[in-house]
Amino acid sequence: MSIHLRPEATVGKVVSFSGIGVHSGQNSEIRVMPAPENLGVIFKRTDVTDKNPFISLSPDSVVDPVYCTRIRNKDDVTVAVVEHLLAAFRLTGITNALVEIDAGEVPIMDGSASVFVEEINRAGIVRQNYVIPMIVIKKPVVVESQNGRISIKPSKRSRIKAKLDYDRINPVIGDNGSCEIDMDTLAERPDSSESRLLAMSRTFGWVEDQRKVQNLGLGLGASEANTVGIMGDHSILNEMGLRHHKELVMHKCLDLIGDLFILGCDIMGDMECLNPSHQLNNQLMKKVIQGIGEHEVFSWETRQKVTSNQVYRFA
């Protein structure tokens, strides 16, 4: 089997973003800073002075993955809605960065990853000497919820097949509820039309749920500027409608790609997703790690199976 490992990379210069948090409704600013090879992505809360402000990525750092992905360190310092930024890192090839943030939530921008991707590309991408390990799936991995399922089967390629199929969404998406993403192609051609469609796919929600979500202290910053609103008659609230026919299912793929970035490794296998969610994505990562001995993890240096504690380069 030919194993092609992606090179590590960092941003060419500091990239800054600012905007409202879709859940907190508060403004925040982030700075994506160049980082040395073999570091990974680390978040730093610049507004935290009495606790450890740094948060490293691992499946165990994810807490309460409802409506978004939130990460936490041992001092209970958190950052929420990291998934779109992490998806942008995956789409641009960034693997090492220090992300400074002055609040507890990454700004939602336009609800997609496109602004992050555009600015990272504008700043430039610096390739580095190390490579990203790859987990080669040898036995099927399956996680399920009440209405969702994700499975990974052995394959010589890295693919994601996603489908949305439940009563509430079907009238909205019609025949546009499924898509297939070739992760190998995305790595080889980050400027492809498929990559652009993924990056521009926005988060979505039902207008009639807005009050219920806000009563939970969430969605306080949601608006037509950053969220696709679905009306009770299945129409789209936003004046310009959807950006493309498969925007909703492709946004779920974008979330999945961002969540899987937390793993710190690429995955070789065929992934099939039915109604993926942040909860299922996190369960999948944890199950892969728990069964790491059943698979193979390759690095450029060894070209052989490595132990599970070597998977996390920044644990």
Contact 63, 78 (CB under 8 A): yes
How many Cα atoms within 13 Å fall on the side-chain side of residue 105? 19
Sign of CA dihedral 162, 165, 168, 174: positive
Q: Tokens 């800073």 correspond to what residue?
A: 33
Contact 106, 30 (CB under 8 A): yes
Longest dimension (CA), the chain: 57
Q: Tokens 């652009």 correspond to what residue?
A: 196
φ, ψ for residue 293 (rounded to 5)? Answer: -70, -15
Query: How deeply is 109 buried, as exposed, middle or buried, from its count of CB atoms within 10 A (0-12, 13-18, 19+)?
Result: buried
The set of catalytic residues is 278
- End-to-end CA distance of the chain: give it in Å, rounded: 29
How far apart are alpha carbons 202 and 254 in whole angstroms? Answer: 9
How far apart are alpha carbons 39 and 14 in whole angstroms? Answer: 17
Chain CA centroid to CA 311, Å: 18
